[in-house]
A and B are shown apart, each in its own frame.
Chain A
Amino acid sequence: MERTRLVFSGSGGQGVITAAIILANAAVLFENKNAIQSQSYGAAARGGATRTDIIIDDSEIFFPKVIQPNILVSLTQESYNKFAPIIRPGGLLLVDSKYVDIQKKVDAKHITLPMFDTVMKEIGKPLVFNICMLGALIGISNLIKPVSILKVLETTIPEDFMAMNKKALELGIEMGRKKRY
């Protein structure tokens, strides 16, 4: 595969870092790939702008940070405004329709999906917004197999919450597949 560089961005508490860890875990543990996940830290855990970088590749990864992402996910307006300019030309930009208004188009495929609204309508818990986003991403891009993500969820999420997470992932995949390009 070609090296994939991703940036997930949003607001603290939305679960973008957790989503990044799940994605990278799936790549390493169940698809025999190399991956690196890192994040920028501030003093506050919740509420601030959050960014996490993921690199996935078959070969060894040395420099661990993402300078120009092939894939940028933004779940807040603030993070979209901040990171949209760094996207790699020809890349993919995925945003949530409730939180982000596209201001100025960049040289990338723009996909806006009602991820948050769908989660609230179908599940009613904002907690799994991030998993729905992950579903949408792999629905669009084929980056990682859904079964690998599910296996990671099974090992990290308490049983009682599994059904909800699985549903969120499926909702995301369904939305994403329709946007495949």
Chain B
Amino acid sequence: MTEKPFNFKDYIRPRFFPHIWCPGCGHGIVLGSLLRAVHELGLNKNEIVITSGIGCSSRISGYVDFHSLHTIHGRALTFATGVKLSKPGLKAIVPMGDGDALAIGGNHFIHAARRNIDITAIVMNNRIYGMTGGQFSPLSGSGKKATTAPYLTIDRDFDVVELAKSAGATFVARSTVFHANECKDILKKAISHKGFSVVEILTQCPTYYGRKNKEGDAIQMMEGYKTNTTRIGSKKLEKNPNLIQRGIFVENTEVPEYCKAYDEIIKTAMKGKA
């Protein structure tokens, strides 16, 4: 914790503003939660490298006053792996959209989880490709409308939490932009976790997903996050098992972190040489 009250201007690059997000987009709330988490953790801005790919979500990297690496579509985790392994003292945060994380970048997602390298992956799930104008994503689910699914989608969606768990991520959580404070608290834990942490944040795209699927405007979509989700293990689930659970699903500190494990390799190799 720092004593100084939070002021977002301490953490952004005004040069980049105004941001590109549409009115009503949930991504700004993710950004707000992230910056508050960083502030409350008292992290030095020079210790953070934010790495992103391509898409609406990936623009976060430019807006924040950290070391920022805006890379190519889907590969942000690989660049972040190079940053982190080569300089483990840095905090690596990777905000990603649906495609970055689970379509073009799906392979990198599961392998980063398997390695348990200390990177925080934030999956900003808006169930649509926003920047390219509303094509369905691997998180849209079936029966949805998108510009590339004029007759409704037949593709099933991934469950990000289940996928991250099975791939071996040692910290897995979910929240929504309606629960901005919960988001912040989870992000604090995720960033502090020594290992690969995945935080899925449900965030609305009223422009493409909401409009096309008759889910209303931004406010109605956020209300949906309130009514359609509940805390892990909540009693509400007994009445409605279809509610999406929020909270921390996995927090495992037993698995060796990748950079730490490699330090041991260096020790062994150096001994062998001597």
Chains A and B touch (C-beta atoms under 8 A apart): no
Residues of A at under 8 Å CB distance from B?
none
Which residues of B are at the interface with A, using a C-beta cutoff of 8 A?
none
